[in-house]
């Protein structure tokens, strides 16, 4: 059966209600589309567990900061249908902005889900102020619309994954979050919809981001524990044409910065190649 594309919340709820008549496990994979092998790994994981796998494709305006790439973000629904279907999705939920936010022009009127400041004033949240408010709000809405038993999130967006797990705990949302490993190109580059923006020349520069996190992991394995030294190792591996936004070492259970790393430390980086912002991370145990 080919994947069903649904644009309306009411219609999706009707279909889910039908499916709920039998005891079925429902999975949700939230995405912004432009699906690649990273997204497909989440969909495959979801469909290996669930009876009904729903992939949302929605470029969520409220998680973009002013001046970011909301308008030019790649929208490729036709190709996404094939990708989602081949990975095992049953339904694509692709709502319009007005379907999700009927009153977006009055943005200040929207009820938001806001993660704790101390967990967003680091890493991606520091430069993307309000980004995680937008993420948590849309994910909460999607959870309420679909009411999934499980939801898959990628470890590529490691701070997002941490905050979603915490939100689900804090707000008693009845969904199990399944973390899925970061998928890379063979050469190491973390797969991202934003890689589409990169020219061949930029891709060579971007490769130095994964090179940098791998070098840090290797230095850690060779016995270096001090973040200051590991930071320098990372920096030394970055291409001159790459502008570092942050390179942080945090504990994977608390997301608090650490001075000396161990097997529970996440090394996370964001950097710009031209005007393209890319992220990568590695858990040092790997
Ligand atoms: P996005 O469409 O970028 O919002 O991502 C949707 C989901 O796919 C998020 O849970 C991401 O963490 C996940 N994802 C994106 N890229 C990758 C990747 N390279 N490996 C694993 N998961 C990914």
- The 10s digit of each residue's pLDDT in 215-249 is 999 999 999 999 999 999 999 999 999 999 999 99
SS3 269: strand
Q: Is 285 a member of any domain?
A: no
Question: How far is 127 from 232, CA to CA, in rounded Å?
Answer: 22
Q: Residues with catalytic annotation?
A: 39
Tokens of 232: 């320098």
Poorest-pLDDT segment among 28-42, 51-65, 101-115, 117-131: 101-115
Domain boundary among 116, 148, 180: 180
Domain boundary among 155, 180, 205: 180
Tokens of 60: 């969520």
Same domain, 136 and 229: no
pTM (global) more than 0.85:
yes
Same domain, 171 and 203: no
Same domain, 141 and 215: no
Write down the pLDDT at residue 188: 98
Q: Is 68 a member of any domain?
A: yes
Dist. CA 55 → ligand 1 center (Å): 12
Q: What is the pLDDT of residues 191-217, one digit of tens each?
A: 999 999 999 999 999 999 999 999 999
Tokens of 275: 């005007």
Same domain, 158 and 16: yes
Q: End-to-end alpha-carbon separation of the chain, Å?
A: 39
Same domain, 146 and 118: yes
* pLDDT average, residue stretch 82-106: 95
Closest CA to 131 of 14, 231, 139: 139
Write down the pLDDT at residue 286: 58
* Highest-scoring range by mean pLDDT, 21-30, 104-113, 273-282: 273-282
Q: Is 19 a member of any domain?
A: yes
Domain coverage including residue 244: 193-279
Write down the pLDDT at residue 83: 98
Where would I find the beta strands (DSSP E) of the chain?
Answer: 4-6, 26-31, 52-57, 91-93, 150-154, 176-180, 242-251, 265-273, 276-283
Query: Can you give the CATH number for the domain in which 225 is found?
Result: 3.30.1300.10
Q: Is 185 a member of any domain?
A: no
Write down the pLDDT at residue 194: 96
Same domain, 207 and 169: no
* pLDDT average, residue stretch 38-53: 98
Nearest residue (CA) to ligand 1, atom 7:
31
Q: Is 220 a member of any domain?
A: yes
* pLDDT average, residue stretch 148-176: 98
Pocket of ligand 1 (CB under 6 A): 31-32, 38-39, 41-42, 153-154, 156-157, 180, 182-183, 190-193
């Amino acid at each position: 059966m080919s994947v069903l594309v649904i644009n309306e919340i009411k219609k999706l709820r009707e279909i889910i209600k039908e499916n709920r008549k039998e005891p079925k496990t429902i999975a949700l994979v939230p995405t912004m589309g432009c699906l690649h092998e990273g997204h497909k790994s989440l969909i495959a994981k979801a469909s290996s567990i669930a009876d009904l796998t729903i992939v949302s494709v929605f470029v969520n305006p409220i998680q973009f900061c002013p001046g970011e790439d909301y308008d030019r973000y790649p929208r490729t629904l036709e190709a996404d249908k094939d990708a989602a279907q081949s990975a095992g999705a049953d339904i694509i939920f692709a709502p319009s902005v007005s379907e999700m936010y009927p009153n977006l022009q009055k943005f200040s009127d929207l009820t938001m889900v806001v993660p704790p400041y101390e967990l967003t004033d680091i890493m991606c949240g520091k430069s993307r102020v309000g980004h995680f408010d937008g993420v948590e709000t849309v994910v909460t809405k999607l959870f309420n619309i679909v009411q999934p038993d499980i939801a898959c999130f990628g470890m590529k967006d490691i701070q997002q994954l941490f905050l979603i797990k915490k939100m689900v705990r804090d707000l008693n949302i009845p969904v199990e979050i399944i973390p899925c490993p970061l998928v890379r190109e063979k050469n190491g580059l973390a797969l991202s919809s934003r890689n589409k923006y990169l020219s061949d020349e930029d891709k060579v520069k971007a490769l130095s981001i994964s090179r940098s996190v791998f070098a840090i992991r290797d230095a850690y394995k060779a016995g270096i524990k001090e973040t200051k030294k590991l930071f320098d190792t990372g920096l030394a591996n970055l291409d001159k044409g790459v502008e570092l936004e942050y390179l942080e070492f945090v504990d994977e259970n608390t997301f608090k910065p650490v001075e000396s790393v161990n097997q529970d430390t996440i090394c996370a980086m964001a950097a710009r190649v031209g005007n393209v912002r890319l992220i990568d991370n590695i858990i040092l145990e790997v």
